[in-house]
């Protein structure tokens, strides 16, 4: 089996050495490194150091030195391939199958690295030459110092179809084409890909040039031109500035993803070196994985225009299935129309840090984007919001995190809409002979005093239990009456848990069926309360059977739910109106008190009528 240097480099990059060694050696933080007692010789004073940035360990006592693979072979006694397989398994990598051509490919790749290094040096030289004057002026206008340009290896490609090809002819046209530096068109001479552009080298984590990005100096399209995918470069896996941002992120304890090259360089002007950028595309799953290997909570900082906002939302949706405990994203929202360069110019490092410090969580960004997607004036629109949030939460693969997102979105939704005035749009026909045929429609009432009045409302707790028993028989009503059922006062902790569990299922977008709901409730430890509710016979809908009686059962249950929710609210509003009559004896207030008194009496009579109909057997 022949493992390429590139594959082994990737394996080392995916392995956090301090975590690997820390499983068997007690390590403590020592500046940018970790230290501990050497596992290769007996010592009392720590002289063994682990450097994650450079991916090696070193002992100043016995001179032991190596990387992750060597640690497993020497400290753990594993054969080389066993060590590689163990690390690959932990990193989620597949060990390449034996390939007799691997050595040849490795040698070929080494040659391509030489080509790219030579091209980068040539572009830098052109920037300093006569033809680079316009590019140097551009850099000055952008506020980029010579030192900063040098640090990023900025160069210039003259507006010529053959100067690069001529300068690097010693490598041969084949390698220049394969490296993406020349364009080959059938029956034509290969010509330079980059012409008349500011050249920005793209490096791998080891600092080797693997591709280029070229920015046009004047008006024209495309503004940016990237190298094509090559044996060295896969734009979906690569992050610009990963070589500089890796060490900086460990020092700063964070990593920032921005939209493009110039955003990264703008942050570097402000002394913020832990920034990376995708390469002309939206963040991919593989790029997100690389960010998470650098820190648990990367910060995504995109431009404040509509395109930047859309990019942030796309990244949020792409990341959502991959989040897990200790692994999420935060989003720094730039002022409208600004990019990082604008922010640095207007407010310097302090302005950037203010924006980064105010970064919002992934769930907050998702909530805002869905909440602002369309007006929410109608029940249908609000139901659409709840459905969209449920569908987003359902994409999360980790079960615990998925449950927390479902609960968080439901809480936000209920907090916003459950306290809105209720119109009780479904007409309830009271069966009282004294008010035949008149619909009961309580007016919108302040719910804040409902808790204070609930003990005076005269509701028999058995009615609440009967309503919950009915909901077990007809669980589809949970989703249709979330607000109303949520307003019912339930003092029994087990019933409250039953209601919350059913709401979680509704909010997740799941279709509630009687048998599946009971199964889930039993799995959460509510089997005993289910059996008790099945024996409840307080209301007619607890025992009605068959399709012929279904409509009556659902109508009665819906009316009961509305009455249970409304009575405490009516009682509270009546008490408030009565209190105000002590200081305000106006005709309008007296009429309002009488209206509330009558509405409360109607609601109680309606509930009594429903209870008197329930004389059958249990569910």
Express each pLDDT in 36-58 by its tens digit: 999 888 788 899 999 988 888 99
Q: What is the pLDDT of residue 428?
A: 33
Q: What is the pLDDT of residue 99?
A: 60
Tell me the mean pLDDT in the region 160-167: 96
521 belongs to a structural domain: yes
Both 83 and 115 in a single domain?
Answer: no
230 belongs to a structural domain: yes
pTM: 0.57
Number of structural domains found in the chain: 3
Which of 429, 430, 415, 424 lies closest to 444, judged by CA?
A: 424
Query: Where is 332: in which H helix or E strand?
Result: strand 330-333
Instruction: State yes or no: pLDDT of 120 exceeds 90.
Output: yes
> Which of 25-39, 105-119, 510-524 is most confident?
25-39
Q: Is the dihedral of CA 356, 362, 364, 368 positive or negative?
A: positive
Tell me the mean pLDDT in the region 489-511: 78
- Strands 65-66, 155-157: pairing is unpaired
How big is the chain, counted in residues? 619
Check: CB of residue 260 under 8 Å from CB of residue 208: no
CATH number of the domain that residue 215 is part of? 3.90.980.10
- Strands 256-257, 275-276: pairing is parallel
Both 232 and 138 in a single domain?
Answer: yes
Residue finishing a domain among 284, 300, 327: 327
Both 87 and 112 in a single domain?
Answer: no
Q: In this predicted model, which residue has the larger pLDDT, 442 or 166? A: 166
Confidence class for position 429, pLDDT limits 50, 70, 90: very low
Tell me the mean pLDDT in the region 179-204: 93
Confidence class for position 619, pLDDT limits 50, 70, 90: very low
Considering the chain, what percentage of its residues have pLDDT values greater than 70?
Answer: 84
Check: CB of residue 156 under 8 Å from CB of residue 200: no
Confidence class for position 537, pLDDT limits 50, 70, 90: low
- Strands 182-183, 191-192: pairing is antiparallel
Tell me the mean pLDDT in the region 231-246: 92
Instruction: State yes or no: pLDDT of 122 exceeds 60.
Output: yes
387 belongs to a structural domain: no
CATH number of the domain that residue 59 is part of? 3.90.580.10
> Which of 28-37, 154-163, 216-225 is most confident?
154-163
Both 41 and 136 in a single domain?
Answer: no
Start-to-end C-alpha separation, the chain: 68
404 belongs to a structural domain: no
Q: What is the pLDDT of residue 535?
A: 76
Instruction: State yes or no: pLDDT of 105 exceeds 70.
Output: no
69 belongs to a structural domain: yes
Range from 441-450, 562-571, 582-591 carrying the lowest mean pLDDT: 441-450
Considering the chain, what percentage of its residues have pLDDT values greater than 90?
Answer: 40
Check: CB of residue 474 under 8 Å from CB of residue 602: no
CA-based R_g, the chain, Å: 34
Angle at which helix 527-534 crosses helix 461-473, to 10 degrees, equals: 100
Both 60 and 187 in a single domain?
Answer: no
339 belongs to a structural domain: no
Q: What is the pLDDT of residue 590?
A: 73
Tell me the mean pLDDT in the region 289-309: 89
Structural domain boundaries, residue 110? 104-327
Both 10 and 66 in a single domain?
Answer: yes
Both 472 and 578 in a single domain?
Answer: yes
Both 452 and 534 in a single domain?
Answer: yes
Q: In this predicted model, which residue has the larger pLDDT, 40 or 200? A: 200
- Over the stretch 202-230, which tens digit does the pLDDT of each residue have? 999 878 999 999 999 987 888 999 999 99
Both 442 and 322 in a single domain?
Answer: no
Range from 17-21, 175-179, 348-352, 472-476 carrying the lowest mean pLDDT: 472-476
Check: CB of residue 202 under 8 Å from CB of residue 210: yes
Range from 5-9, 88-92, 254-258 carrying the lowest mean pLDDT: 5-9
Residue finishing a domain among 91, 118, 139: 91
Instruction: State yes or no: pLDDT of 178 exceeds 90.
Output: yes
Q: What is the pLDDT of residue 98?
A: 64
Both 184 and 260 in a single domain?
Answer: yes
Contacts of 194 (CB under 8 A, 6+ apart): 157, 164, 181, 212, 214, 225
Q: What is the pLDDT of residue 215?
A: 94
Summary mean pLDDT of the chain: 82
Residue finishing a domain among 300, 327, 354: 327
Both 485 and 587 in a single domain?
Answer: yes
**What's 69-138 look like in SS3?**
HHHHHHCCCCCHHHHHHHHHHHHCCCCCCCCCCHHHHHHHHHHHHHHHHHHHHHHHHHHHCHHHHHHHHH
Confidence class for position 117, pLDDT limits 50, 70, 90: very high
Instruction: State yes or no: pLDDT of 452 exceeds 50.
Output: no
Confidence class for position 304, pLDDT limits 50, 70, 90: confident
- Over the stretch 585-600, which tens digit does the pLDDT of each residue have? 666 667 777 777 877 8
Confidence class for position 436, pLDDT limits 50, 70, 90: very low
Instruction: State yes or no: pLDDT of 444 exceeds 60.
Output: no
Q: What is the pLDDT of residue 541?
A: 54
Q: What is the pLDDT of residue 192?
A: 96
Range from 245-254, 385-394, 485-494, 576-585 carrying the lowest mean pLDDT: 576-585
Both 116 and 85 in a single domain?
Answer: no
552 belongs to a structural domain: yes
Q: In this predicted model, which residue has the larger pLDDT, 44 or 285? A: 285
243 belongs to a structural domain: yes
């Amino acid at each position: 089996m022949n493992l390429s240097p590139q594959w082994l480099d990737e394996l080392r990059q995916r392995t956090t050495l301090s975590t690997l060694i820390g499983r068997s050696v007690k390590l403590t933080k020592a500046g940018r490194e970790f230290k501990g007692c050497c596992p290769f010789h007996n010592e009392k004073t720590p002289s063994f150091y682990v450097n994650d940035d450079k991916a090696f360990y070193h002992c100043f006592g016995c001179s032991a030195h190596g990387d992750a693979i060597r640690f497993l072979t020497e400290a753990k006694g594993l054969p080389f391939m066993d060590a590689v397989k163990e690390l690959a398994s932990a990193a989620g990598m597949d060990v390449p199958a034996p390939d007799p051509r691997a050595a040849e490919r490795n040698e070929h790749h080494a040659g391509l690295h030489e080509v790219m290094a030579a091209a980068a040096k040539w572009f830098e030289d052109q920037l300093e030459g006569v033809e680079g004057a316009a590019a140097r002026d551009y850099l000055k206008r952008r506020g980029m110092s010579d030192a900063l340009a040098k640090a990023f290896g900025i160069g210039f490609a003259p507006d010529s179809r053959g100067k690069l090809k001529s300068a690097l002819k010693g490598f041969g046209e084949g390698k220049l084409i394969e490296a993406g530096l020349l364009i080959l068109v059938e029956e034509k001479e290969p010509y330079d890909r980059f012409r008349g552009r500011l050249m920005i080298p793209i490096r791998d984590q080891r600092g080797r040039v693997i591709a280029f990005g070229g920015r046009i100096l004047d008006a024209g399209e495309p503004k940016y031109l990237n190298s094509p995918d090559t044996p060295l470069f896969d734009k979906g896996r690569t992050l610009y500035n990963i070589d500089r941002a890796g060490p900086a992120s460990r020092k700063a304890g964070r990593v920032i993803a921005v939209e493009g090259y110039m955003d990264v360089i703008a942050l570097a002007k402000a002394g913020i070196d832990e920034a990376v950028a995708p390469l002309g595309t939206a963040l991919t799953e593989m790029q997100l994985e690389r960010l998470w290997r650098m820190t648990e909570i990367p910060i995504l900082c995109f431009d404040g225009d509509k395109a930047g906002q859309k990019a942030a939302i796309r990244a949020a949706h792409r990341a959502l299935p991959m989040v897990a405990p200790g692994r999420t994203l935060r989003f720094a929202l730039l002022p409208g129309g600004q990019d990082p360069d604008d922010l640095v110019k207007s407010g310097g490092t302090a302005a950037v840090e203010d924006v980064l410090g105010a970064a919002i969580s992934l769930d907050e960004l998702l909530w805002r984007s869905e909440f602002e997607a369309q007006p929410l004036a109608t029940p249908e629109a609000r139901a659409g919001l709840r459905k969209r949030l449920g569908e987003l939460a359902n994409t999360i693969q980790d079960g615990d995190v998925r449950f927390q997102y479902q609960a968080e979105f439901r809480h936000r939704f209920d907090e916003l809409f459950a306290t809105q005035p209720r119109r009780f749009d479904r007409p309830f026909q009271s069966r009282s002979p004294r008010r035949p045929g008149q619909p009961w429609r309580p007016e919108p009432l302040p719910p804040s005093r409902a808790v204070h009045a609930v003990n005076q409302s005269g509701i028999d707790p058995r009615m609440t239990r009967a309503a919950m028993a009915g909901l077990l028989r007809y669980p589809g009503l949970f989703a249709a009456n979330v607000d109303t059922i949520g307003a019912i006062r339930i003092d029994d902790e087990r019933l409250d848990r039953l209601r919350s569990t059913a709401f979680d299922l509704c909010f997740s977008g799941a279709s509630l069926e009687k048998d599946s709901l009971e199964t889930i409730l039993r799995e959460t430890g509510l089997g005993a309360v289910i059996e008790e509710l099945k024996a409840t016979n307080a209301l007619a809908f607890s025992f009605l059977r068959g399709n012929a009686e279904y409509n009556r059962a659902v109508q009665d249950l819906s009316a009961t739910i509305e009455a249970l929710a409304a009575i405490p609210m009516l009682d509270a509003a009546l008490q408030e109106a009565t209190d105000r009559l002590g200081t305000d004896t106006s005709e309008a207030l007296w009429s309002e008190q009488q209206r509330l008194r009558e509405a409360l009496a109607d609601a109680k009579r309606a509930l009594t009528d429903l209870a008197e109909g329930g004389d059958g057997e249990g569910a």
